[in-house]
Amino acid sequence: MTRMPFKTRILTLVVILTNVLGNFALSFGMKARALATSPTFVSYVSAFFSPVVLLGVSLLVIWLLSRMALMSWADLSFVLPITSLGYVLSAMMGHWFLAERVTSQRWAGTLLIVAGTLLVSFTPHKSQSEKKS
């Protein structure tokens, strides 16, 4: 088994963290604006310009760009399962910091994601056919 290069490890971490923190900031900012009471176009535009929502959007732009770079360095079949750890961290953030109710079925799904990620982490990050070219 080939070790993943350091730059790929760092970029994988950036992809996961920007996804989790970006989605958290976006959710937190939108919930803080209480759009459920006045869901108008103006209220959504106003919410977009709140600092927390802008932070979330900025982090998600960084996530997209870093994910694009990561996919150029590693196989899609490796990147998607490994970065799915973001779903696990997002569920935890929602539960602990947004007081969301996470059901036992959702936790079971989260554990399945962790199991799949562990399985994939023991495979090479690049397929052997691409290394030969």
Distance CA 117, CA 82 (A): 5
- Residue 40: inside a domain: yes
In order of 5, 51, 73, 96, 122, the CA distances from 34 in angstroms are 44, 15, 41, 20, 44
Q: Domain range spanning residue 77?
A: 6-126
- Residue 104: inside a domain: yes
Distance CA 131, CA 10 (A): 21
Report the pLDDT value the prediction gives residue 1, as an integer from 0 to 100: 41
Distance CA 10, CA 116 (A): 20
Q: What are the pLDDT digits (tens) for 37-79?
A: 667 788 778 888 899 999 999 999 999 999 999 999 888 888 8
**Tell me, what amino acid is at 41?**
F
Q: What are the pLDDT digits (tens) for 85-123?
A: 898 899 999 999 999 999 999 999 988 988 888 888 777
- Residue 107: inside a domain: yes
Please give the backbone phi and psi of residue 33, each rounded to the nearest 5 degrees, phi first: -80, -10
**Tell me, what amino acid is at 127?**
S
The number of domains in the chain is: 1
What radius of gyration, in Å, describes the C-alpha atoms of the chain?
A: 18
Q: How many CB atoms lie within 10 A of CB 25?
A: 20
